[in-house]
Amino acid sequence: MQFVDQALIHVAGGKGGNGAVAFRREKYVPKGGPSGGDGGDGGSVVMVVDGGLSTLLDFRYQREYAAPAGGSGANKDMYGRAGTDLVLRVPPGTQVFDDTTGEVLVDLRADGERFVVAPGGRGGRGNIHFATSTDRAPRKAEPGLPGTERQLRLELKLLADVGLLGFPNVGKSSLIAKISAARPKVADYPFTTLVPNLGMVRLSQDRSFVVADVPGLIEGAHAGTGLGDRFLRHLERTRVLVHMLEAGAGAGRSPWRDYLAINRELALYDPALAGRPQIVVLNKMDLPDVRRRRAQLTRPFTARGIEVLAISAATGAGVPELLERVWKQLERSRREVQAAADSTPTPTPTPKPSPSRSRSGQTRSAR
C-alpha cells in the first residue's frame, strides 16, 4: 500500500432545508391556521479515527467532500428530513489544519475518536413559528442556512514510543526487521527506506512498545533536503530516540561527526525534539574493522559522558541489551510525565453566584 502522510481536501456541510409556508385546509377545522413545518438540518462532515488505517491514501484520489442537504418543511406541520452525516475515516495520529488560517483544528489519536470538521447548516423555520395575536396567517418562513465550508490540510504523524534515526544505510531497517514483524526493504545502498515503518516490539507478555523507523536523514533535513522535514515529523510523538551510527560510510564522516550533524538538524527543526532522551548505538559490530576500531570510534563520546551501545543488527549481538535499555528509558519517561501531571495544581472551580430575592419574593439570578 502506498504511504501517504499529507493531503489537501475541501469539505462542506450540507445546506439546511427551507421552512414551509402552508395553512390547514381540513374539513371540520375552521380557521386552521398556519401549518408549514421546519426544514431539516444539513448533514455534517465528521472525521473518525480508524485504527485499521495507516495512510491518507484515500484522500489523494478524492479531494471534494460534501454532506447531504436537509429536506424542506411541508404542510400539516411536517418537518424536513435531516441530512445524514458524511463520515471520513482517518488513521490514528492525523492532525487536521484549517489550510486558510493554519489553525490546528484537532489532533486525532484514539481509535473511534470523532470530530465535526464541517457542521451542516440549520434548517429554516416554517410559518407555524410566526403566528401572533395580530398576524394569525403569516406568509413568511426562513430559508435554510448554508453549511460550513473549509479547505483542510491533513498531516499524519506516526504514533510510536521509540524512533530510530540516523544517516542513510546505518542499519535502521535491519534493526526493526530483527526486533519486530516489520519487513522493510533492506539493501546495501543509501536511501533504501523511502517511507516510515512501524514495528511492535514484545519483550514479554506485559512489556511491549512501538518503534518507528524513518528514512535516513542528511544535512539540511530540517529545511526539507531529502524530504527530511516530512520524515522528522514522524519522530515528534516519540518519547525515546535510538540514534544509530556506523564507522564512517563516506569521506569526511565518522560516528561523532554524524552524531553532531543529526542533532543539529533536530535542534533546527524542533528544539524539543533535540532534547528528547537518546540512546546512542554503534552498529555493524559483526565487521572485524569496526570491532578493532571500537575504542577509537567511541572515544569522543566517552570524553563527554555519552554512553555508546555496540550492536550488530545483522547477527543480533547486543540487541537484547539495547531493548532492555530502551524499556527502562520508556519507564523513566512515563514516571516523569506522571510526576509532572501530579504536580500540576487542579484549577479551583469558580463558585456560581447565589440567587437573590426581589422585594416581591421572586427569585432572580444575581447579575
Query: Is a pLDDT exceeding 60 seen at residue 358?
Result: no
The segment with the largest mean pLDDT, out of 1-5, 147-151, 246-250, 358-362, is 147-151
Between 315 and 252, where is the model more confident? 315
Whether residue 260 is found in the same domain as residue 276: yes
356 in any annotated domain:
no
334 in any annotated domain:
yes
Whether residue 311 is found in the same domain as residue 177: yes
Given pLDDT bands bounded at 50, 70 and 90, which one contains residue 153? very high
Contact between 98 and 151 under an 8 Å Cβ cutoff? The reply is yes
Whether residue 128 is found in the same domain as residue 185: no
With vertex at residue 341, the alpha carbon angle to CA 207 and CA 117, rounded to the nearest 5 degrees, is 85
367 in any annotated domain:
no
The pLDDT tens digits for 170-204 are: 888 888 888 887 665 554 544 455 567 778 888 88
Whether residue 147 is found in the same domain as residue 172: no
CATH number, residue 8: 2.70.210.12
pLDDT at res. 364: 41
The pLDDT tens digits for 249-265 are: 566 678 998 899 889 88
Whether residue 175 is found in the same domain as residue 316: yes
The three cell numbers of residue 342 are 501530579
Amino acid at 204: S
Whether residue 143 is found in the same domain as residue 5: yes
pLDDT at res. 361: 42
Between 150 and 208, where is the model more confident? 150
Average pLDDT, the chain: 83
pLDDT at res. 363: 42
**Residue of 124, 10, 114 whose CA lies nearest to 66:** 10
19 in any annotated domain:
yes
The average pLDDT across 320-337 equals 90
CATH number, residue 181: 3.40.50.300
Distance CA 338, CA 315 (A): 37
Residue ranges making up the domain that contains 96: 1-156
pLDDT at res. 189: 42
> How many domains does one find in the chain?
2
The pLDDT tens digits for 190-245 are: 445 556 777 888 888 788 888 888 876 756 555 555 444 567 777 888 889 999 99
Distance CA 307, CA 279 (A): 8
Query: Is a pLDDT exceeding 60 seen at residue 152?
Result: yes
The pLDDT tens digits for 40-60 are: 999 999 999 998 887 888 898
Looking at 156, 177, 207, which one is the last position of a domain? 156
Given pLDDT bands bounded at 50, 70 and 90, which one contains residue 113? very high
pLDDT at res. 311: 92
The DSSP line for 226-285 is: GGHHHHHHTTTT-SEEEEEE-S--STT--HHHHHHHHHHHHHHH-HHHHTS-EEEEE--T
The three cell numbers of residue 42 are 444539513
Name the 3-class secondary structure at 159: coil
365 in any annotated domain:
no
Given pLDDT bands bounded at 50, 70 and 90, which one contains residue 148? very high
100 in any annotated domain:
yes
Between 367 and 192, where is the model more confident? 192
Whether residue 175 is found in the same domain as residue 220: yes
Q: 134: buried, middle or exposed (CB in 10 Å: 19+, 13-18, 0-12)?
A: exposed
Whether residue 59 is found in the same domain as residue 143: yes
pLDDT at res. 1: 45
Whether residue 322 is found in the same domain as residue 232: yes
